[in-house]
Amino acid sequence: MTPFPLLAGAAGMVFVGGSVAVSGVLADTPLLTVQCLRYAVACLLLALFARVTGRRLIRPRGAEWLWLGGVVVTGMFVFNLALVLGARHAEPAVLGVAVACVPVLLAVVGPLLEGHTPAPRLVAAALVVTAGAALVQGFGRADGVGLLWALVTFACEAGFTLLAVPVLGRHGPIGVSVHSTWMAAALFAVTGVAWEGPGAVLRLNSADLLAGAYLAVGVTAMAFVLWYTCVERVGAARAGLLTGIAPISAAATGVALGGAMPGLLVWFGVAVVALGLGLGLGLSSTQPKLKAYASAPASRNAISTVTSRTPSA
């Protein structure tokens, strides 16, 4: 197996981790409106890229609409809302630790959806990566409602990857990204007009638009394709290990922007993540490329940094 798929997945997680830089800028903006613009711009960029490169976009059919809708509702819509509402009852680290548990779920459920049994070594590696990511992000306090929202963010982040597995084979990373972004833009547009009003876009300033542009280009258009390319080529279980890179990227971004150097516990967490990546990605066996959903068993089904309040999606 060439290293490109793994590098693509890692690059996607670097973009997601870097989105922590926009958290302060978008804290008081109309969230639904910003997300609508983000996904609309990303969809246009992805469609243009598909046209320029000769990638054929095909229309979803049958149950594919449900899988793509699940990606949008869980990994892009509810996830964003859960982060914002959860932050009112829990410290960001609590939500971050919940999302850091995603590699374990992907290591167990991902292979089952792809038609083979989980690899014990990948499950063990996912546990190590999760522990390291938790150390990097730290721990925090939460009430009962906050813990519930943490569970929601965990489920939604996993859904962003797992619900895309059945359609990656037929649509490919670009197709899945294009369809999920236009559907997300439409959903955020409807809810944004209803809750924030049609004039919300006029309340955005230049800093808001620049932050939204980074989310659209880096965290969505580029990171989506990079991430789904990795999932398609190496499988959800192995790709899931790379989510441990996101909190490391977030910590590095904070330092680059003038923040304090990480403490000893954070550096230890980075080392633990690296150990988990070495354990899981060092497997010599390769995962088969995903097949189209129509020919797959009927049962088959950018971790975002919590402090950014934006999805891996």
Please state the φ and ψ torsions of residue 90, each to the nearest 5 degrees: -145, 150
Amino acid 24: pLDDT: 60
Report residue 40 as tokens. Answer: 């609309």
Of the two residues 184 and 24, the one the predictor is more confident about is 184
Instruction: Supply the mean pLDDT for the chain.
Output: 83
Q: What is the pTM of this model?
A: 0.82
Q: Which residues pair with 142 in a beta bridge?
A: 90
What DSSP assignment string belongs to 23-69? TTTTTTS-HHHHHHHHHHHHHHHHHHHHHHTTPPP----TTHHHHHH
Helix (H/G/I), strand (E/B), else coil: 287:
coil
Per residue in 35-85, pLDDT (tens digit) is 999 999 999 999 999 999 999 999 999 999 999 999 999 999 998 788 778
Residue 113 has pLDDT above 60, yes or no: yes
d(CA 144, CA 141): 10
Residue 300 has pLDDT above 50, yes or no: no
The DSSP symbol for 116 reads S
Q: For 160-164, 270-274, 307-311, which range has the lowest pLDDT when averaged over its residues?
A: 307-311
Per residue in 71-107, pLDDT (tens digit) is 999 999 998 788 778 877 877 667 777 777 889 999 9
Judge whether 63 and 293 are in contact, CB under 8 Å.
yes
Q: For 64-73, 138-147, 249-258, which range has the lowest pLDDT when averaged over its residues?
A: 249-258
Please state the φ and ψ torsions of residue 142, each to the nearest 5 degrees: -160, 155
Amino acid 227: pLDDT: 93
pLDDT band at 251 (very low <50, low <70, confident <90, very high): confident
Judge whether 184 and 72 are in contact, CB under 8 Å.
yes
Helix and strand counts by DSSP (H, E) for the chain: 14, 0
